[in-house]
Amino acid sequence: MGLLPLLRTGLALVASLVLLAGICEGRSDTPRGVSLPFVFDAKATCDPPCKHSGICIRNNTCFCYRGYEGEACQYANCYPKCKNGGECLRPGKCRCPPGFTGKYCHKVVCEGGCWNGGECIAENNVVKCLCPSSWMGSWCQEGMCLLLTFS
């Protein structure tokens, strides 16, 4: 590679950086303009430091990426929110309590399943089997015998 192409590449890089610096400082001459959502201070420090790739934009002020919130971007935010007492671990990922499953802990699961036509339900965040008539027990596993008396 000759010196001329290398020089052109270097000049193009410098021109791009100058243009980018002008945009970042809000001095763009483009007809549409550039709107910045925050004022950025390159010398800013945040204590505690921004988490989850958040950016320290002013002293002790973090800009959080989508899905995180809090003073230091320390809290994950799930949308839709985790259901049934689930905990948001990262955007789109919930940790579900026992008895619940699914991306947002919205599905009820009875451990061991419900037998004999029983239906798994949650009442006040307590998961249990709703048994059809003539069946009982934790999993609807016990038959009920009806005593008929004749007079």
pLDDT category, 28, cuts 50, 70, 90?
very low
φ, ψ of residue 8 in degrees (nearest 5): -60, -45
- pLDDT tens digit string along 68-87? 999 999 999 998 999 999 99
Parse the chain into domains and list their residue ranges: 38-77, 110-143
d(CA 125, CA 82): 13
CATH of domain 110-143: 2.10.25.10
Given this model, what pLDDT does residue 103 score?
Answer: 92
pLDDT category, 147, cuts 50, 70, 90?
low
Are 38-77 and 110-143 in the same CATH fold? yes
Confidence (pTM):
0.55
- Residue holding tokens 């001459």? 29
d(CA 8, CA 80): 50
- SS3 of the chain: helix, strand, coil, percent, to 5: 15, 25, 60
pLDDT category, 31, cuts 50, 70, 90?
very low
Task: Assign domain 38-77 one CATH number from 2.60.40, 1.10.357, 2.60.120, 2.10.25.
Answer: 2.10.25
